[in-house]
């Protein structure tokens, strides 16, 4: 069971959590043009009296105030072990360059929990933290959260919180509901745990589960909730960009259909997507090596650069009047 968001005052959670779980949902804003900064602030004003944070460098971004959602439900364990969790989940919305909208939810799992259900004031004093009603193996929860789609219903569902926020924002009156092209929402389920002494050290395992679902396992020396959530939002944004660009190229018929039609179908990508690629630009310095590892494998930027270059090569051939399919070779 989840409780609706309320305008609670935020207090910093206890330092040094060992386990975080979260989800990020990413979508094209349902608006015909990039949303101006003033309108973006209006869209993301989720809590009365709290400002929307904006920045212009290295790209335009607006971040909503945090929302807290009360939760009191079983935790998603891979073993099926019944462990109840009570506390609050932290969610927020992020709008990048007035074009890409994300809903991000995270929860810190307390290292210890009691067997007694305490008054809500206890949990509100620990925002973004869920306390289990007994001992809980971290690996069991990690596997359960990342397998949430394959587990029985009724457990803690961060995706439902994210989806509710995203749907609410996409339906607001400030938007005209006329997106420049068709695209799909993507989901990133993620976990972050502290590296064990003598273990393999920090690292990340990113997996494409299907056309819209991705999972990420982070192992870190220090698990900072705010920095980790921002890292996952940045990763989800660039994964959405790459996924969407590849899909647009496939749908366009580039390289197979004659004439200028494929490039005309790709114009929205040129107008709205190509300038947004800035992986790791807002990632905390401590997490930069993790991004560098993901750039090595699976290699986001290599695939992005190859796809963009393919589009530009066809644009160049079209500009000089040479059909892209006319060259036959020796």
Q: pTM of the entire structure?
A: 0.90
Helix (H) or strand (E) holding 190: strand 186-194
Residue-wise pLDDT for 31-52, tens only, equals 999 999 999 999 999 988 899 9
Distant-in-sequence, close-in-space partners of 223: CB < 8 Å, separation ≥ 6: 16, 17, 18, 19, 20, 192, 193, 194
Residue 64 CA, chain-centre distance (Å), reads: 14
Contact call for residues 188 and 215 (beta carbons, < 8 A): yes
Per DSSP, the three-state class of 225 is helix
Helix runs in 128-266, H state only: 138-146, 158-170, 225-252, 261-265
Q: Report which of residues 321 and 297 the model is more confident about.
A: 297
- For residue 236, CA distances in Å to 177, 268, 296 come to 23, 21, 17
Q: Report which of residues 153 and 208 the model is more confident about.
A: 208
How do beta strands 67-74 and 53-55 pair? unpaired
The C-alpha atoms of residue 160 and residue 156 are separated, in whole angstroms, by 9
Q: What is the pLDDT of residue 173?
A: 94
Residue-wise pLDDT for 204-223, tens only, equals 999 999 999 999 999 999 99
Cβ atoms within 10 A of the Cβ of 82, count? 11
- Torsion sign across C-alpha atoms 226, 232, 235, 238: negative
234 closest CA partner among 301, 144, 165, 308: 301
Please state, rounded to an integer, the average pLDDT across all residues of the chain.
Answer: 88
Residue-wise pLDDT for 261-307, tens only, equals 888 889 988 999 999 999 999 999 999 999 999 999 889 999 999 99
Q: Is the pLDDT of residue 319 over 90?
A: no
Residue-wise pLDDT for 59-68, tens only, equals 999 999 999 9
Total number of residues shown for the chain: 330
148 closest CA partner among 208, 206, 215: 215
Q: Is the pLDDT of residue 183 over 90?
A: yes
Please classify residue 173 by burial: count the beta carbons closer than 10 Å to its beta carbon, then call 0-12 exposed, 13-18 middle and 19+ buried. exposed
């Amino acid at each position: 069971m989840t409780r609706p968001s309320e305008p609670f005052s935020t207090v910093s959670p206890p330092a040094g959590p060992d386990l975080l779980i979260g989800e990020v949902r990413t979508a094209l804003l349902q608006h015909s043009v990039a949303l101006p900064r003033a309108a973006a602030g209006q869209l993301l004003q989720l809590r009365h009296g709290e400002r929307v944070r904006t920045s212009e460098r290295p790209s335009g971004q607006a971040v909503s105030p945090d929302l807290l959602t009360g939760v009191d439900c079983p935790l998603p364990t891979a073993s099926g072990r019944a462990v109840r969790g009570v506390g609050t989940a932290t969610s927020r919305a992020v709008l990048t360059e007035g074009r890409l909208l994300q809903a991000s939810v995270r929860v810190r799992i307390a290292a210890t929990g009691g067997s007694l259900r305490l008054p809500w004031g206890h949990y509100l004093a620990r925002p973004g933290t869920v306390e289990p009603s007994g001992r809980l193996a971290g690996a069991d929860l990690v596997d359960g959260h990342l397998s949430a789609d394959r587990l029985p219903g009724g457990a803690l569902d961060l995706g439902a919180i994210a989806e509710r926020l995203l749907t609410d924002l996409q339906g607001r009156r400030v938007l005209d509901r006329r997106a420049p092209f068709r695209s799909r929402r993507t989901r990133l389920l993620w976990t972050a745990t502290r590296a064990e002494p003598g273990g393999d050290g920090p690292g990340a395992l990113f997996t494409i589960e299907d056309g819209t679902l991705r999972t990420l396992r982070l192992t870190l020396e220090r698990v900072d909730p705010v920095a980790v959530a921002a890292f996952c939002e940045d990763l989800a944004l660039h994964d959405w960009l790459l996924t969407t660009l590849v899909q647009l190229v496939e749908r366009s018929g580039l390289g197979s259909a004659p004439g200028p039609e494929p490039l005309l179908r790709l114009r929205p990508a040129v107008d709205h997507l190509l300038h947004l690629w800035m992986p790791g630009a807002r990632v905390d310095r401590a997490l930069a090596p993790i991004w560098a590892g993901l750039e090595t494998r699976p290699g986001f930027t290599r695939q992005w650069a190859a796809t963009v270059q393919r589009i530009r090569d066809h644009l160049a051939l079209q500009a000089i009047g040479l059909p892209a399919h006319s060259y036959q070779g020796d």
